[in-house]
């Protein structure tokens, strides 16, 4: 017995020693502060983080508690240097939840490199809500090249509480606690730090000729970035090469001297070897590289650029790749320079050059813009150079982003000054444009209903004496969108924001003359604000009267699909509501229920790293039939809230044998997104692949065109009617 006790004590001692010597505190047991997060863990988001005694093992866990509104998120995070090699990275951990709603809880794994997120998952698509006891969860990702930092975390979005414990991070099956770290061999581009603290470039008092010279430089700089083999190898920090070249270039006295500088600059990167693998542009490409600007240059410069093009880089590229399977562009090694919120002259010019060339070579919808992208570089050079402060820089960025006319393209991070400019105080009402008028559609908080003095269906006509039409006209350029309904959707959420405690509005109630009132505004965290539609924890499907099934994709879960098929197989019809964002990807798992044979529903256009600017069609993608096909009518409801995955899902359902789509113009932004980082820590995105029907018809900007157009009316809003749903029921019951 004594030997057994000694053996047990030895094991415990060894385990304790192992815990003490672990490199990373992933189990919370080593927290020195009994209540506060510390010892390697840090806070992301706004929710409260604490150390809690409710643990999966040991005596401590990390806990996230939402605020009273549940309109934000909280994350308890840990950073680990990515000094490892491997193919896959896995995060395991235990989580417990209580009353999670209007969002989700999950583990989070993110791998960053040079300011970009290279791999990411936060389990949002698993839609974990409600109250659940301790369970083990796992995230597995491909381990990316160029990884610099690994972030592991627990995350809570919406309302509720979540506990996390016993995280284990492994690469290729080996724990990072014991995995040997490697000394990474950095590329020359990564070693170049000369301009980390500023470009030392000053640009001012530019005339037309100066701007034309800068336009040409921007084109040459971007062309070389994506075509020159030495740059593709990572042998040059291309941002900083711009700053080295600019001082000499801007002093050129004439066109001949300017062109000579450019030719010598190209030569300075060494002789480009002849390319044996470079393929000509596909004759069937839907978009082809634009060489007109090169052909318009002097003979020496033109020949130099065309030689680089003919012998351009092939394969792996330091700055760009196409993602596996999907094929949207992944912009790599683009430093966001987050330490300079208001970048200096050189970095602002770099921001424009970077963005314009990314779009020029890798945006699949360049041909759908109302205005020629070729003219945008010259147009925006003075605007980016002449911005006086951080706000003006952000506004210039969002304007050129808006010129893409892509609802996916907006400022999704780093635009702090624009957010302040819009206002920190919010109205207690939800607004939508109905019949081209700004209409009150909901109260954020029921307790304010009586004191607001506005009824559902009231039409706001003026704000602080200015007409709604006038305000919308002035602000539209700051609201990127694929089409007008989507732009109005986004503007409506901000029109009554202000930095004042109240605003003056003029409004019209039913059968009344215009009235004026002072509307009190509130801090955001004191209201139950929702952006597009009210979140719900309701079951995703139910039976309506007249034997009609109803499904909302807002809350659908994978496990719901079998039950939907079982419960609704003998119904007169099924209504699928996609006036929301699907919580689960269902085009194939549910879409297959509505086709009697394998049916094409989509094909894509993909760019080409080996020939930037070329886009070709993929083969058709089909919805497979799974044998038991639904025999009734399928009605799909869409509107301007239907965006991206919602639009893609609508396309899948449209392939059904007996589908009718009812509603109005959708957001017109389909396809997987690609993130773009700009100097100043600005983050934006683009629709990264072209999404088309099998006949080649595009969905970008157009959206999903309904078979039956129905829009809500002001009268219907006042009466609390859902006119799209009513029309769907009518169509199903019609013989």
- 504-527 per-position pLDDT tens digit: 999 999 878 999 999 999 998 889
Question: What does the pLDDT average to over 158-176?
Answer: 95
Contact in structure between 700 and 673 (CB atoms under 8 Å): no
Topology annotation, domain 541-733? 2-enoyl-CoA Hydratase; Chain A, domain 1 (3.90.226)
- The CA distance from 108 to 154, in Å, is 6
* pLDDT given at position 533: 87
pLDDT over 60 (residue 21): no
pLDDT at 7 over 50: no
CB distance 124 to 104 below 8 Å? yes
| Residues near 56 by beta carbon (within 8 Å), at least 6 away in sequence | 94, 96, 134, 163, 165, 166
Identical fold for domains 22-177 and 541-733, yes or no, is no
What is the predicted pLDDT for the residue at 397?
A: 98
Confidence of residue 11 (pLDDT cuts 50, 70, 90): very low
Can you give the pLDDT at residue 41? 86
pTM metric for this prediction: 0.85
The Cα-based distances of 624 to 630, 652, 694 in angstroms read 14, 11, 15
Question: When comparing pLDDT for 413 and 271, which is higher?
Answer: 271
For residue 4, name the pLDDT band (cuts at 50, 70, 90): very low
Burial of 557 (0-12, 13-18, 19+ CB in 10 A): middle
Mean pLDDT of the chain: 92
Taking the chain, what is the end-to-end CA distance rounded to the nearest angstrom? 84
Task: Tell me how far apart the alpha carbons of residues 62 and 167 are, in angstroms, rounded to a whole number.
Answer: 11
- Looking at the domain that runs over 22-177, which CATH code has it been given? 2.60.120.260
Q: What is the average per-residue pLDDT within 181-209?
A: 89
- Is the predicted pLDDT of residue 5 greater than 60, yes or no? no
| 567-579: average pLDDT | 97
Highest-confidence range of 65-74, 323-332, 720-729, by mean pLDDT?
720-729
529 three-class SS: coil
Answer yes or no: is pLDDT of 669 > 90. yes
Which percentage of the chain shows pLDDT scores above 70? 96
Residue 707: the pLDDT is: 97
Cβ count near 422 (within 10 Å): 17
Which contacts of 171-178 are long-range, i.e. CB under 8 A and separated by 24 or more positions? 171/84, 171/85, 171/86, 171/88, 171/89, 171/90, 171/143, 172/86, 172/87, 172/88, 172/143, 173/90, 176/23, 176/24, 176/80, 176/84, 176/150, 177/22, 177/23, 177/24, 177/26
Q: Are the beta carbons of 285 and 614 closer than 8 angstroms?
A: yes
Q: What is the structure's pLDDT at 450? A: 86
Indicate whether 6 pLDDT > 70. Answer: no
pLDDT of 30 strictly over 80: no
Does the pLDDT of residue 675 top 60, yes or no? yes
Closest CA to 289 of 24, 610, 62, 541: 610
Nearest to 117 by CA among 561, 543, 674, 679: 674
Q: Which of 99-103, 655-659, 687-691 is least confident?
A: 99-103
Report domain extents, the chain. Answer: 22-177, 189-318, 541-733
């Amino acid at each position: 017995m004594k030997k057994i006790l000694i053996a047990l004590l030895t094991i415990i001692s060894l385990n304790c020693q192992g815990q003490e010597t672990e490199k990373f505190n992933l189990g919370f047991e080593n927290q020195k502060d009994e209540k506060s997060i510390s010892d390697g863990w840090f806070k992301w988001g706004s929710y409260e983080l604490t150390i809690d005694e409710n643990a999966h093992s040991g005596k401590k866990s990390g806990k996230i508690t939402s605020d009273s509104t549940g309109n934000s998120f909280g994350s308890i995070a840990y950073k680990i240097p990515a000094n490892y090699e491997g193919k896959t990275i896995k995060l395991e951990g235990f989580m417990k939840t209580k009353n999670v709603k209007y969002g989700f809880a999950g583990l989070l794994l993110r791998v960053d490199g040079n300011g970009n997120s290279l791999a990411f998952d936060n389990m949002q698509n698993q839609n974990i809500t409600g109250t659940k006891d301790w369970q083990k969860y796992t995230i597995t990702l491909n381990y990316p090249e160029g990884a610099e930092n690994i972030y592991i975390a627990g995350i809570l979005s919406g309302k509720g509480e979540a506990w996390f414990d016993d995280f284990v991070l492994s690469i290729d099956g080996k724990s990072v606690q014991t995995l040997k770290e490697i000394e990474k061999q950095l590329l020359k581009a990564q070693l170049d730090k000369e301009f980390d603290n500023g470009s030392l470039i000053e640009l001012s008092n530019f005339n037309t000729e100066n701007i034309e010279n800068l336009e040409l430089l921007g084109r040459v700089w971007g062309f070389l970035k994506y075509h020159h083999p030495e740059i593709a190898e990572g042998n040059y920090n291309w941002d900083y090469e711009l700053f080295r070249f600019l001082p000499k270039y801007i002093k050129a006295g004439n066109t001949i001297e300017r062109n000579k500088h450019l030719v010598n600059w190209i030569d300075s990167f060494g002789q480009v070897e002849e390319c044996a693998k470079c393929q000509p542009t596909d004759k069937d490409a839907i978009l082809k590289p634009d060489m007109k600007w090169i052909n318009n240059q002097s003979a020496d410069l033109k020949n130099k650029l065309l030689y680089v093009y003919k012998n351009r880089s092939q394969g792996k590229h330091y700055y760009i790749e196409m993602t596996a399977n999907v094929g949207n562009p992944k912009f790599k090694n683009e430093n966001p320079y987050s330490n300079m919120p208001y970048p200096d002259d050189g970095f602002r010019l770099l921001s424009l050059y970077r963005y314009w060339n990314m779009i020029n070579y890798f945006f699949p919808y360049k041909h759908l813009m109302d205005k020629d992208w070729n003219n945008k570089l010259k147009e925006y050079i003075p605007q980016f150079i002449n911005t006086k402060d951080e706000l003006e820089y952000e506004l210039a960025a969002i304007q050129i982003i808006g010129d893409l006319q892509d609802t996916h393209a907006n400022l999704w991070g780093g635009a702090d000054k624009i957010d302040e400019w819009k206002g920190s105080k919010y109205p207690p009402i939800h607004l939508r444009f109905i019949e081209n008028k700004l209409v009150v559609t909901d109260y954020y908080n029921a307790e304010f209903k009586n004191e607001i003095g506005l009824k559902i269906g009231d039409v706001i006509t003026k704000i602080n004496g200015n007409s709604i039409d006038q305000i919308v006209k002035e602000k539209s350029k700051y609201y990127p969108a694929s089409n007008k309904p989507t732009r109005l959707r986004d503007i409506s959420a901000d029109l009554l924001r202000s930095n004042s405690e109240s605003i003056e509005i003029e409004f019209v109630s039913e059968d009344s003359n215009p009235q004026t009132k002072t509307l009190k505004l509130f801090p955001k965290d004191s209201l139950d604000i929702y952006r597009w539609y009210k979140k719900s924890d309701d079951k995703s499907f139910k039976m309506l009267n007249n034997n009609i099934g109803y499904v909302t994709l807002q809350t659908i879960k994978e496990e719901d699909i079998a039950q939907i098929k079982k419960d609704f197989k003998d119904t007169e019809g099924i209504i699928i509501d996609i006036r929301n964002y699907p919580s689960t990807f269902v085009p194939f798992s549910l879409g297959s229920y509505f086709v009697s044979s394998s049916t094409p529903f989509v094909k894509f256009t993909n760019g080409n790293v080996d020939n930037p600017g070329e886009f070709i069609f993929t083969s058709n993608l089909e919805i497979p039939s799974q044998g038991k096909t639904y025999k009734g009518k399928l009605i799909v409801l869409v509107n301007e809230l239907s965006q991206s995955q919602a639009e893609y899902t609508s396309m899948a359902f449209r392939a059904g044998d007996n589908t009718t789509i009812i509603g109005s113009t959708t957001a017109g932004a389909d396809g997987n997104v690609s993130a773009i980082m700009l100097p100043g820590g600005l983050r934006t995105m683009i629709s990264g692949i072209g999404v088309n029907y099998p006949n080649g018809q595009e969905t970008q900007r157009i959206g999903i065109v309904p078979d039956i157009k129905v829009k809500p009316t002001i009268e219907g809003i006042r009466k609390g009617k859902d006119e799209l749903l009513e029309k769907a029921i009518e169509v199903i019951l019609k013989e």
